[in-house]
Chain A
Amino acid sequence: MENLNRRTLVIGLIVLTIGIIFVIKLFILQVYDPSYKYSAESNTRREIISFPARGLVYDRNGKLIVSNQADYDLMVVPRELKPMDSVTFCNSLEISIEELRSLFDDMNGRLRNKKISRIKPSIFYKQLSAKQYGYLQEKLYKFDGFFVQRRTLRKYEYPYAAHILGYIGEVGPQDIERDDYYIRGDYNGINGVESTYEKFLRGEKGFKYVLVDVHGRQKGSFRDGEYDIPAVAGKDIKLTIDIDLQKYGEELMQNKIGSIVAIDPQSGEILTMISSPTYDPSLMVGKKRAGNFSVLSTDSLKPLFNRPIMAWYPPGSTFKTINALIGLQEGVLTPDTKYECYMGYSVGRFHLGCHSHSSPLNLRNSISHSCNAYYCHVFRNIIDNKKYATVQEGFDAWKNYLVKFGFGHRLGTDFSNEIRGFVPNSATYDKIYNKSWSSLTVVSLAIGQGELLTTPVQMANMASTLANKGYYYTPHIIKDIEHDTIPSRFKEIHETGIDTAYYRPVRDGMEMAVWGGPGSTATAARVPGITICGKTGTAQNPHGEDHSVFIAFAPKDDPKIAIAVYVENGGFGARWAAPISSLMVEKYLKGEIDPSRSWLETRMMEGNLIYGTK
């Protein structure tokens, strides 16, 4: 028994020995030896976001338009901050002590409001210049809690197409609220295709875990990158625009206010979309964006304004084509119907003037000569058709055709800021004239003036519909998305409800406008060897010189391009818009301008409608 107790004691001692060894070792580890504490501080895992390369943008011919460039942000992990040499810090960043102080105040404010985390990196100073980055990289080890994070910024290969492309900018609080993908300091697309196709272009962020030492220097990947998630690059997109045509158009439009929209009628693809004056998209990259933006946004010529989809004008005489089609469809007009015109259209005391031309004219000639009187007759016959009980009913029937042509509502292009234009209905006039109005009251609509407002893209779409003899595809700018499909709405056909046969005389008239004999209004648009069909217009401008308008498509039998050109304060359509259209069509279909027309090209390019030399 004595022996057994001794054995119990031995076992107890063994247990106790181990216990004491542990207690001593733990004491050394936790209390006596401070080195492990330092190790723990140095042993910090940092989550670094790897930003994906944003998808590239190509034009319809595969030319690279938008690519990426590297950019660096100075990041801070507030918990890791230590007292530091702020003079060196300021010198490296080339900022003043005051600026640094305000940067810290900002950070502390955001910390208090729980906008940023104490343990996660957030942006301290955005978009370091190459020089700042170089300086800082060397000194960074002195500044605990700071590190540099790489992002990508856009790089524009051409100084054109700014309005189409849009730009990228920092996300706002609403963006972060709406989509968890974003955190403060991220970029997303603003305007243009950058915004519309943001979800495809942005890719997916990745995460990289690195071990960092006391000074924030990266010591290597955490657990051999086992937990890293690689970034997924954004999808590349191909646009329908022809960047060379875009460039040419922008050159033609320099020193002019206005827009050009050209569409491939067979697919609805927008070949070019120009808003003038424009700006170099590179101005909207990086740190200089804020400054340039405020300069551009206060410019009285509104270079940021995307005219093709946001400006509205009366369509002018180009609209006679539509009224002719409606008249034919409604049975109030035949190709052989003739009306007389003696310098205008007069009823009682009412008179709407016209220019001098031979009289009477048939339908084809009424288009080529752009007779105002003819369309007053046509328009009034449509509205006052006996099959409609009231003028309101007649008017709304007319209006419904316009809607089918894409007027008065958003066409549904890729651009979310596209406006709808304006098409009045009977209620509009009931309100204005207290229900007592007649077709004569609104007869200026016959020649595309009055309460009717359309956007250049709607006008180009009208040209496209004329080219197609009665249908159109929604104009769009996206051609391909890498590993994805473009929205299905761009593949749908929209019918106008007007018999294909009726397009024939109208198209003939448009051909004659360009190619006809004396009295034809659009001979300025002749391109040797191309059966271009067009219609001039003059949009009345109460504030000054009228706007020069032209719509066209070519070649007549197999249209490849439909175009609408607006030149503000350009006067008659034949003066600026028609020659510019013809140059665009020629450039697109032939690749170059016939030498016999180079004088015209020079005159158009050098024409300055902004600073007075007309």
Chain B
Amino acid sequence: MVQNKYSKKVDWLTVSIYLIMVIFGWFNIYAANYNPENPIFFDPEKEYAKQLIWIGLSALIIWVLLMTDSKFYVAFSYFLYGLSVFLLFSVIFFGKEINGAKSWFELGPVRFQPVELAKIATALVMSRIMSRHDFSFKKPAKVAKIIGLWALPVLCIFLQNDTGSALVFFVFILPFYREGLTSSILVFGIMAAIVAVLTLVYPNTLIIWLVVVGAFLFLFMKTDKKVTGIGAAVLLGGFTLALTIYSILGQTLRWEIFTVIGMVGVSIYLLVKGFVKNLKPVIPALIFMWSLVAVTFTVDYFVDDMLSDYQRNRVYVLLGFKDDPLGAGYNVNQSKIAIGSGGLTGKGYLEGTQTKFDFVPEQSTDFIFCTVGEEWGYLGTFGVVFLYVFLIFRLIYLAEKQHSPFSRIYGYCVAAIFFYHFTINIGMTIGLAPVIGIPLPFFSYGGSSLWGFTTLLFIFLKLDTDRNELIR
């Protein structure tokens, strides 16, 4: 009876996508575990057998989630958040270290990653705060609250040395943006990401000059030619002056410093000029410019001094600095070969050769997309990409239909988290993103991640059943 009431309201399209992904994912896990040299139809010891159990338990989770009153998720959001932060904190001390990250609790045969709960709880808490009628990104106290609650789990996760998972939280910028965060921050975020990557590939000086040129173009469009011209002259003057002094003193030439000196000069000039002439675009241009320069140096410092040789190697190989197909670039190279060998229509189910025998690492978890690519070809990978984009669009569409802001914001959070995993996971398997060990939702093997994503999704689908009510 109760089932009936909900089944009518649950968004069956989303549920169908979910089911397709989970089932298709399972078939790929089966394929990744299949050994053509020793074909056994069903081995209860293998991952596919366990995944079947995880899937079964997911059904139970779904049932519980749908039975729970929507108001519960609002009411208990802080509690869940507190619990998850507590767990994130304790795992630093009591967790089990796997692949260098101390992010797992292990209780006998059961492994659990508190970050899965933290993602859900943080999404709920953010939704709750932002859904209050008095919330605004213009109120510093509210923004501080959000940033504080956001930073706490992120900090814990960084301390666990689980960079990949910590980065998920940056994707909350999308719901923030939707709820009124000024667009320049989104643009800055995207620019910062691009600059960060470019910094690793090209020398700092070049990046800084690109940033500077960008700032000048902005100025050129927003102010007049004269200011831009004099600004450029000041920049080049400062640069040349510094170069001359260094040359005379016989010091080693440091182009970055000359550039920065030039930038200091032009900044002073623009500040004065802007103040006198009341040129508004000067301030954002300068902030932009200096922030991106800061990003450049931070990333540079981070990679050179903070990362281990191993991690740095991976970053370098990813960016094509090093061609080392059997070394650090091994995983990405193998993964690209596996996907690439699939061709248009794939080799056929269970016919893959590259995703067997551990050519591809983590072939049933983080690199499950390789199996799709190899055995199902471009048709398969296109289908999976399409499914994800479709799922995210569907979630955004549903979010926009919510009467209550809480549900809408939460919907955006869910969409954003899926988007992050989709982007990074598939990106890394095809060499477009760094190799960050995060799962592909609903495809990768593993109970913890399957249950995490299922919970994330079905809380929203539950909220969606009450889309016409005001939940607070």
Contacts and interface: CB of A to CB of B under 8 A. Distances in A.
Interface of A: 4, 7-8, 10-12, 14-16, 18-19, 21-23, 25-27, 29-31, 33, 35-37, 39-41, 43-45, 117, 119-120, 209, 211, 220, 223, 227
Contact of A26 (B339, B358, B393): B339
Given A22-B385, A30-B344, A119 B177 contact: no
B178, B336, B419: which has the most chain A beta carbons within 10 Å? B336
Contact of B337 (A11, A18, A39, A223): A39
Given A36-B340, A45-B359, A15 B177 contact: no
A43 B354 contact: yes
A122 to B, nearest CB: 13
Contacts of B338: 40
Q: Which 7 A-B pairs have the closest CB atoms?
A: A36-B340, A40-B341, A19-B389, A30-B378, A39-B337, A29-B340, A26-B381
Contacts of B359: 43, 45
A39 B174 contact: no
B393 A18 contact: no
A36 B344 contact: no
Nearest to B374: A40
Given A30-B340, A43-B359, 9 more contacts: A11-B178, A21-B432, A22-B430, A23-B382, A30-B373, A30-B377, A31-B344, A36-B341, A119-B37
B333 to A, nearest CB: 8
Interface string B77-107: 0000000000000000000000000000000
A61 to B, nearest CB: 47
B400 interface: yes
A33 B378 CA distance: 12
Interface string B389-421: 100110010001000000000001001000100
B337, B353, B426: which has the most chain A beta carbons within 10 Å? B337
A29 B396 contact: no
A40 B389 contact: no
B446 interface: no
A19 B385 contact: yes
A30 B422 CA distance: 19
Per DSSP, chain A at the interface is helix
Interface string B435-455: 000000000000000000000
Interface of B: 36-37, 174, 177-178, 183, 186, 326, 334, 336-344, 353-354, 357-359, 373, 377-378, 381-382, 385-386, 388-389, 392-393, 396, 400, 412, 415, 419, 422-423, 426-427, 430, 432
A30 B339 contact: yes
B379 to A, nearest CB: 9
Nearest to B344: A31
Contacts of A30: 339-340, 342-344, 373, 377-378, 381
Nearest to A15: B392
Nearest to A21: B432
B400 A8 contact: yes
Nearest to A7: B178
A7 B400 CA distance: 11
B463 to A, nearest CB: 18
Given A7-B178, A37-B343, A29 B336 contact: yes
B320 to A, nearest CB: 14
A172 B371 CA distance: 40
A299 B204 CA distance: 88
B426 A22 contact: yes
Given A29-B336, A30-B343, A227-B358, A19 B388 contact: yes
A29 B426 CA distance: 13
B385 A23 contact: yes
B336 A36 contact: yes
A109 B227 CA distance: 86
A16 B389 contact: yes
A220 B326 contact: yes
Given A15-B389, A15-B393, A120 B326 contact: no
A532 B343 CA distance: 87
A34 to B, nearest CB: 9
